[in-house]
Structure 1
């Protein structure tokens, strides 16, 4: 049998015939039950729109006020950018760079890479040059794009700070919360085997 007509389960490496799966149907591994393909009609368009929405929300989350603390007549408003710059000197500079890199730069770069790889196909065009490499890079940095970890950490911190000062959530907080929801929906909507197959087929045509 031609090896190009086979696909391996990413979990248990069981080999299966590489067949077309109708939209809204699911192909699972016969050995361990892992989902091998779950194509959906209009998936490229939806993924592209969600990635663009996430990128816009990321810009809003960085630029707008994140929260305001008030205690004993004093008030302090801060954005995510202010939090990054607050530790940009001295021994805390590496922490500042890590926050900027993992919470802002990597997620934004991942959204841009997904848009670069999939947006032309969503419009019915051929994939952009190096689209396969861009999507592969976006998948590799996924574990390091930690915007959702940041919002969980902020929620825990707010619980502790709320007893010491009055906390008002700014528009950037809600933009970040919406960003996490959109990112989760986008990642769950991507059928990676289908995306890879589509990229390879359209790159050859």
Structure 2
């Protein structure tokens, strides 16, 4: 039976999120990548100016979210009749009777949770971007960012809309409103932001600046 490592030796141990292999990571130079020796998963990939890009993209996504919710989303025309709809209309379409919980779920998954995740990113990272210490509870805010990631489903909504449009296009004339393009841009900006974000680098920066 091997003796456990002293508590002081556990601070720089990192578990691979894919295979759970433990690694002892030192300082990783900017532009380099630290990979798992077992499965090759990238554990840490610091980039120059990454925090600035993440904050700017998160702020952009938040603006796009507001536009996507309140601007017209789709216009449907058939037999001389037209119907304008927005994301709010999609949310409130299930607000009657037994479908009311579905309305709450749609609002939560495609608007509230994505917006909350963006706000948590800004709260956790924006002060460090300009050289300040993290705000109180910044580590909890960044932990919330990771917890909410599987539940923020704006991209699932836009894929579902695209599939529905294929079926509706043969029955009516469909005009895409500004909110549709805002939502599409939101999905792209969110994917780009998550690509820039190295979770381990942010955690280490939070720990170092909180302790100093």
Shorter-chain TM-score: which interval? over 0.9
Offset at residue 31 of structure 1 (A): 1.2
Instruction: Verify: 1:115 aligned to 2:122, yes or no.
Output: yes
Alignment of 1:9-20 (within 5 A): 9-20=16-27
* Matching of residue 71 in structure 1 with residue 78 in structure 2: yes
User: Using the alignment, how far apart are the partners of 1:39 and 1:118 within structure 2?
Assistant: 14
Determine the C-alpha separation between the residues in 1 that align with 2:82 and 2:12. 64
In the superposition, the TM-score normalised over structure 2's length comes to 0.94
The C-alpha deviation readout for 1:146-180, integer Å capped at 9, x for no partner, is: 00000000000000000000000000000000000
Q: CA RMSD in A?
A: 0.9
Match of 1:192 among 192, 199, 204: 199
- Paired with 1:8 and 1:200, the residues of 2 have a C-alpha distance of 17
The CA deviation at 1:32 is 1.1
1:154 lines up with 2:161 in the alignment: yes
Separation in 2 of the partners of 1:108 and 1:99? 13
User: Aligned partners of 2:168, 2:22: CA distance in 1, in Å?
Assistant: 53
Structure 1 counterpart of 2:100: 93
What CA distance in whole angstroms lies between the structure 2 residues aligned with 1:11 and 1:160? 39
Runs of 4+ off more than 6 Å: none
Provide Cα deviations, 1:37-83, integer angstroms capped at 9, x if missing partner.
00001111110001000000000000000010000000010100111
Residue 164 of structure 1 corresponds to which residue in structure 2?
Answer: 171
How far residue 185 of structure 1 moved from its aligned partner, in angstroms, is 0.5
Q: Secondary structure at the match of 2:11?
A: helix
Q: CA deviation at 1:17?
A: 2.1
Structure 1 residue ranges without an equivalent (≥5) = none
